Chain A
């Protein structure tokens, strides 16, 4: 009996509990999707989308530490580290220290590695890009010309057969300049788009921003170029702040409301004051009657 209590039972408990512990420690596969971005010739950055299959669906994973490398997956080539946010995105701007590595070749490789966490295994991915740039310009007749070039042996050469979107930059999303959303570059690496949004509101001077962009390209990543042109309608902001409205601030009620409400208020309170005067009269009459 003592043997059962001291040895067999604890062993049984360990055997039963152990699989549960293992089950809790089971790790999932993580997918890293790196992308390269160069917006309007500003500082380039890398963005990694992390996702994993949870309950049969791919969902973004937050809190994954990701290391970014240039040229090779080695500590000496580390660009930096970032942690994925609630959308599963980890972003790293390419630091100036990486200038030499960046200039070494017209093609560049990036490596991203995620460290193992309690729930996810360590995983890695890589990205190869060819250095490229977009030029955007306009010609007479409100025509937009965009040219895509890639760096080949230190020379910028036109790219043929790539898709370029030409649009107008708005607050939350881009608006096509006409009904065609994307164009394919010719042998000169050029696309031409007609501007057909004549009455588009611009800033106070009528300026709008044109944008040409290559998106999710296997060779070039995501690159954009912008150009400001005075093709919009000047947007004159008419402030309602000092106008008399129902939604205005204190002291700016509509005149009709002020007249109506003050009239009612004064009529009623004049009646009440009249009645208070009557009390005083009653007092006076009472005093006279007493005398």
Chain B
């Protein structure tokens, strides 16, 4: 990468129009979003009765999805903030990928919460009549804050690139140019501007770490402050945060491979990046495994009666297939693949990333739903539908629509903006050459 000329870098990294595969991909995502919207319209007109949620399971696939979105959004702080603060330079091509994943995920985390509400028209009450003692209000505050920080962290490093994008109007088209003008026409790359920009980015990367930890800790407290088998745990904050870093890193592995392939970025996202990210995923998977052991071994050792029902349901009961699938796919298999050098090549690393993301999504479902089906007081005189939960087609459509929506934001962003920071890459090469 050191020998690349500046013009070649700009040419390689400028956003490109979609090819046939890209258009097909957009079509699939849009279709899923439309189906989700249709399902949500049905839910709005008929009420939450179209879902399979009833008196006991009042948090189903929507809240599982919410926890997943919040979790994956933490990758912004991992790649951008933690690696930048520790002076790790190899992560530069991955920062924007991580940040756009964070922004899109946190956007849909907020949306899916509104979807879960029976009366979305009352959403404003959370802001105007919120109860400060409730972790739900803490979550609303911290998600809003994290959203703004992520937007700023995406925006500030984008400013130098805006100048380069404006210079390439002919290639990129007039309409995107209007957007670039609006966002960064004032950028002149003067030393004063560069200094302010760097200072702002440094402030952001320091600010985002405690906020990112808070966002997922508070999300875990939505569960842990409730006295229920499976949620009544002091381990939940650390358990959630470690899981979030894992799924975020897995998501980055997937996105790295997809962008590398579709935009031919082999010179910029190299095998070294897969190697380094693969090692990070192994470490995070082992850390998450450690917290899982803590989370399940201690209550299983004591086996209090209400915990017993819940744990046996997970280990050997109705939820056992999902539980073990989640544990194996999100932790064991990725470690088995990525612990070997050959496993950290692009394709196996991509597969490991997919396993982490799929397993982690199911893990969130396993955290949310089984507990609700095991209340302290036995269920009596309730219809059979209250005793089980399997999402309705509307819930599936909305959940898949929201996942598609998240990927749509990332795809459209990559169509409009360089997915690898151009100016930062050039500066790093220049600094390297000067050194």
Q: Shortest 8 CB-CB distances between A and B: which pairs?
A: A286-B186, A289-B188, A253-B132, A250-B131, A283-B186, A278-B200, A246-B133, A253-B133
A290 at the interface (CB under 8 A from B): yes
Contacts of A285 in B (CB 8 A): 186, 188, 190, 192-193, 196
Contacts of A272 in B (CB 8 A): 145, 148-149, 152, 207
Which residue of chain A has the shortest Cβ distance to B129 in the bound complex?
A250
> What bracket does the count of chain A residues touching chain B fall in?
20 to 34
- Docked complex Cα distance between A250 and B129 (Å): 7
A9 at the interface (CB under 8 A from B): no
Q: Mark B152-177, 1 if CB is under 8 A from A, else 0.
A: 10011001000000000000000000
B residues near A (Cβ < 8 Å) are 129-133, 138, 141, 145, 148-149, 152, 155-156, 159, 185-188, 190, 192-193, 196-197, 199-200, 203-204, 207, 211
Contacts of A275 in B (CB 8 A): 152, 156, 200, 203-204
A281 at the interface (CB under 8 A from B): yes
Task: Known pairs A285-B186, A285-B193; list 10 more (Cβ under 8 Å).
Answer: A249-B131, A253-B132, A257-B132, A261-B141, A269-B145, A272-B148, A278-B196, A278-B200, A287-B186, A290-B188
Please name 16 pairs of A and B residues whose Cβ atoms are closer than 8 Å in the assembled complex, sorted by A.
A250-B129, A253-B131, A258-B132, A261-B141, A268-B211, A272-B145, A272-B149, A275-B203, A279-B155, A281-B196, A282-B159, A282-B186, A285-B193, A286-B185, A286-B190, A289-B188
Say what secondary structure dominates the interface of chain B.
helix
- Docked complex Cα distance between A73 and B186 (Å): 104
Which residue of chain B has the shortest Cβ distance to A276 in the bound complex?
B152
Name the distance in Å between A117's Cβ and chain B's nearest Cβ: 23
Given known pairs A278-B200, A282-B159, A283-B186, the reply for A265 and B141 (CB within 8 Å) is yes
A115 at the interface (CB under 8 A from B): no
Q: Is the CB of B133 within 8 A of A282?
A: no
Which residue of chain B has the shortest Cβ distance to A272 in the bound complex?
B148
Which residue of chain B has the shortest Cβ distance to A289 in the bound complex?
B188
Counting chain B CB atoms within 10 Å of each CB, the highest count among A249, A283, A285 belongs to A285
Name the distance in Å between A63's Cβ and chain B's nearest Cβ: 17
Contacts of B197 in A (CB 8 A): 282
Contacts of B149 in A (CB 8 A): 272
Contacts of A248 in B (CB 8 A): 133
Contacts of B141 in A (CB 8 A): 261, 265
- Docked complex Cα distance between A48 and B140 (Å): 58
Q: Mark A246-275, 1 if CB is under 8 A from B, else 0.
A: 111110011001100100010011011011
Residue among B130, B132, B187 making CB contact with A282, cutoff 8 Å: B187
- Docked complex Cα distance between A283 and B156 (Å): 12
Q: Is the CB of A271 within 8 A of B132?
A: no
Say what secondary structure dominates the interface of chain A.
helix
Count how many pairs of residues, one from A and one from B, have CB atoms less than 8 Å apart in the complex: 67
A residues near B (Cβ < 8 Å) are 246-250, 253-254, 257-258, 261, 265, 268-269, 271-272, 274-276, 278-279, 281-283, 285-287, 289-290
Contacts of B152 in A (CB 8 A): 272, 275-276
Counting chain B CB atoms within 10 Å of each CB, the highest count among A271, A282, A283, A285 belongs to A282
- Docked complex Cα distance between A108 and B138 (Å): 70
- Docked complex Cα distance between A169 and B92 (Å): 77
Counting chain B CB atoms within 10 Å of each CB, the highest count among A258, A265, A268, A283 belongs to A268
Name the distance in Å between B136's Cβ and chain A's nearest Cβ: 12
Contacts of A278 in B (CB 8 A): 196, 199-200
- Docked complex Cα distance between A271 and B138 (Å): 19
Q: Is the CB of A261 within 8 A of B138?
A: yes
Q: Is the CB of A286 within 8 A of B193?
A: yes
- Docked complex Cα distance between A85 and B204 (Å): 68
Contacts of A247 in B (CB 8 A): 133
Contacts of A249 in B (CB 8 A): 131
Given known pairs A250-B129, A272-B152, the reply for A282 and B207 (CB within 8 Å) is no
Contacts of B203 in A (CB 8 A): 271, 274-275
- Docked complex Cα distance between A208 and B329 (Å): 65
Which residue of chain B has the shortest Cβ distance to A252 in the bound complex?
B133
- Docked complex Cα distance between A246 and B188 (Å): 52
Which residue of chain B has the shortest Cβ distance to A283 in the bound complex?
B186
- Docked complex Cα distance between A285 and B188 (Å): 8
Q: Is the CB of A282 within 8 A of B193?
A: yes
- Docked complex Cα distance between A279 and B187 (Å): 10
Name the distance in Å between A281's Cβ and chain B's nearest Cβ: 6
Contacts of B145 in A (CB 8 A): 265, 268-269, 272
